[in-house]
């Protein structure tokens, strides 16, 4: 079994319902999956999006699966599409569900279709804050600092990402 860090995001429609449905669908698609941990929900104002774009609701879950990273990635794409996200879309377009593989155990991949660990996770507070909640001491391949240390080193305003609550608490 491999531990997969999965980022969840939504900024279209009922964001909380989208994240809940996304997790349920993902677990149903992964035949041997086990939910190991789930961070709380964080709200982030959109960056580089059209005016009036709704804020994002984000979280991170760690799921254990015996599937390969490519198979897990294909399941994530299938869930996104099932929830209305088109395969071809404009950059930073609003989305009902955005799923990303952040890491797959200690595997490293430079395959352009699935870079592992995710090449920008260390730059994104909306990813690091929830990830630090469930895996603060995790050191990913290619990094020297823990997730908590990377989060503390970010230069942006910590208030830009607000914790709203846990999966069952946010409406």
- How does residue 124 score in pLDDT terms, banded at 50, 70 and 90? very high
Please say whether the beta carbons of 57 and 170 come within 8 A: yes
Query: Among the listed ranges 66-70, 117-121, 153-157, 167-171, which one has the minimum average pLDDT value?
Result: 167-171
Number of other CB atoms surrounding residue 4 within 10 Å: 26
Domain boundaries defined on the chain: 2-165
pLDDT higher at 151 or 50:
151
Handedness of CA 122, 143, 129, 151 (dihedral sign): negative
- How does residue 86 score in pLDDT terms, banded at 50, 70 and 90? low
Q: What is the DSSP string of 131-162?
A: HHHH-TT---TT-SS-HHHHHHH--S-GGGEE
Whether residue 99 is predicted with pLDDT greater than 80 in this model: the reply is yes
Q: What proportion of the chain, given as a percentage, has pLDDT over 90?
A: 79
CA distances for 51 relative to 15, 47, 162, angstroms: 18, 10, 20
Q: What proportion of the chain, given as a percentage, has pLDDT over 70?
A: 93
Element (H, E) at 15: helix 15-29
pLDDT at 89 (0 to 100): 59
CA distance 46 to 82: 23
pLDDT at 90 (0 to 100): 61
CATH of 2-165, one of 3.20.20.70, 3.40.1190.20, 3.40.50.2300, 3.30.70.560: 3.30.70.560
Most confidently modeled range among 50-54, 89-93, 108-112: 108-112
pLDDT at 92 (0 to 100): 63
pTM here? 0.93
- Tens digit of pLDDT for each residue in 129-171? 999 999 999 999 999 999 999 999 999 989 889 999 887 666 5
CA distance 17 to 126: 19
| Residue written as token pair 């709203």 | 164
- How does residue 51 score in pLDDT terms, banded at 50, 70 and 90? confident
Provide the phi-psi class of 61: left if phi over 0, else alpha when psi is between -120 and 50, else beta: beta
Q: What is the DSSP letter of 12?
A: S
**3 state DSSP class of 72:** helix
pLDDT at 8 (0 to 100): 97
Neighbouring residues of 17: CB distance < 8 A, sequence distance ≥ 6: none
């Amino acid at each position: 079994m491999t531990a997969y860090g999965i980022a969840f995001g939504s900024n279209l429609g009922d964001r909380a319902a989208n994240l809940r449905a996304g997790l349920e669908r993902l677990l149903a698609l992964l035949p041997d999956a086990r939910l190991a941990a789930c961070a709380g929900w964080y709200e982030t104002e959109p960056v580089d999006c059209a005016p009036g774009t709704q804020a994002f609701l984000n979280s991170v879950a760690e799921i254990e699966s015996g599937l390969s990273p490519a198979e897990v990635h294909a399941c994530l794409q299938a869930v996104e599409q099932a929830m209305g996200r088109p395969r071809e879309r404009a950059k930073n377009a609003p989305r009902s569900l955005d799923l990303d593989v952040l890491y797959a155990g200690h595997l490293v991949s430079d395959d352009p279709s699935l870079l592992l660990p995710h090449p920008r996770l260390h730059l994104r507070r909306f990813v690091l804050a929830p990830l630090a909640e469930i895996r603060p001491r995790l050191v990913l391949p290619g990094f020297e600092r823990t997730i908590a240390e990377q989060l503390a080193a970010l230069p942006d305003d910590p208030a830009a990402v607000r914790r709203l609550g846990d999966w069952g608490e946010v409406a």
